[in-house]
Structure 1
Amino acid sequence: MKPTTLSHLRQWKQQGRKFATLTAYDFSFARLFADEGIAVLLIGDSLGMTVQGHDSTLPVTVEHIAYHTAAVRRGAPQALVMADLPFMAYATPEQTCANAAQLMRAGANLVKLEGGAWLCETVRQLTERAVPVCGHLGLTPQSVNIFGGYKVQGRDSDAADRLLADALALEAAGAQLLVLECVPVALARRVTDALAIPVIGIGAGNVTDGQILVMHDAFGLTGGHIPKFTKNFLTGQPDIRAAVRAYIAEVEAGTWPAAEHSFQ
């Protein structure tokens, strides 16, 4: 199987072909996901909560992400691998370039960072230095202390307009992808339609080009509060492999996420 590239994702957007992605943190799950057809994997700083047991993503370091990125790359050599730049790892363009280089050397194909137009110069510098960038707007978990919790973003017209302006600015600066988290479906549609680059949603309805879930949420491994925008795809399936196939099928058909998993 040929490696998945950013060119493939752009072609899928142009063709109206929806695609499914998942987080992965180790060799075994990365290999399983790739074998069942997940072509894009994210080493998210969500590992701070799902793997390390913290109550937020803030304790995660670049070294943590690099370690897990190398493991995922060995498990899924043909996948398109995204790696998060964690909290305060991109405070300055110079710092960002050094940290991005570490993640790319560990096996990432592109890096993801959270924030809007203020990151444009950083995105330009990374792109000029051969580091593709995925932006992340909406609910950005690294800003949990600013938001005062994990809350839906872009509900009023001014906030929605600002988010769309940020998305367009990131694209103009060179971003190759955008993750849109926890926003109303109508806003997700506006952003997806306005951008030429693919938009991957989580809690953004079924109108985006792709979907992503934290693997622990997708297979019912999350304890405590279960976010509205998640679903246990293992329910009714004989094993995790079948659950991955069910997830892919629902994303490609546009039936996931359904209205009850989305914000209006």
Structure 2
Amino acid sequence: MTLGKANYAKTLIGFVAMLAMGTGCAASDSDASESTASTNQEIISNLVKAGFPADDIMEVDGVVYVGRDAAVSLEASREMLQTDGSNSKEQYRTTNLVSSSVSVICVNGSAYTGTFSTALDRAISNYNNLGLSFSLRRTTGSTSGCSATITANLTSGSAGGSSGFPSGGRPYNAINVASSTSQYGTSVVTHVITHEIGHTIGFRHSDYYNRSISCGSGGNEGASDVGAILISGTPSTATVGGSLMNSCFRSSETGNFTSTDVTALQNLY
């Protein structure tokens, strides 16, 4: 990592732990492994059909990622094949959005203390201050009154975070931020948390077409008319510091939305 920039992609390894709880029969290790492989093969196939380049799709610990930090479920990948009639090749969002029936998104921040706790509160305020169709509410585990829940996790590894896209009209259920991100201070941690929540409600990177704009290196994450859609009123080109949803962050980030981020959010929600 160079001074002033940190790549979200560096934080993927070790970020996602797959937990399964229940009663009754459980699949054998071999059956579960075969099932995961088959599911991921379909996810990857769907992403390629949706227009994402194969070299931008990766599988880490049994989870498929696109755009370097957004996990994609099987349901979400299938939704990406459902065209909405848009012919735009630039983007801010995926075809997958949060349903209007989701009015309260709870964020379980029980794992966050100190800098991360303060940053999470600020990130939640970022969204709630805009009067969107949904509100974010911080919880410590209770789901009472929640339309959907996002769990905020602390992870190891290089500074940055990861999350995923919505599916079934619900936001992705987790954001993951590396504890080492705190070295950059509360504003940067707020930026990363707000960014990852952005993915959970359907935002792609603003510089998806050229990651070198914010990262200093990297190419096109891939665009298609079913999975990378320009939001009305927002620019089709990215600039350094132009959007909180740029692929990489700087050490000077404020943690606040830019004017175009606000336009995008208010247009969708």
Q: Provide TM-score, normalisation by structure 2.
A: 0.28
Q: Provide TM-score, normalisation by structure 1.
A: 0.28
* Greater length-normalized contact order (CA 8 Å, ≥ 6 residues apart): 2
User: Of the two, which has the highest radius of gyration?
Assistant: 2
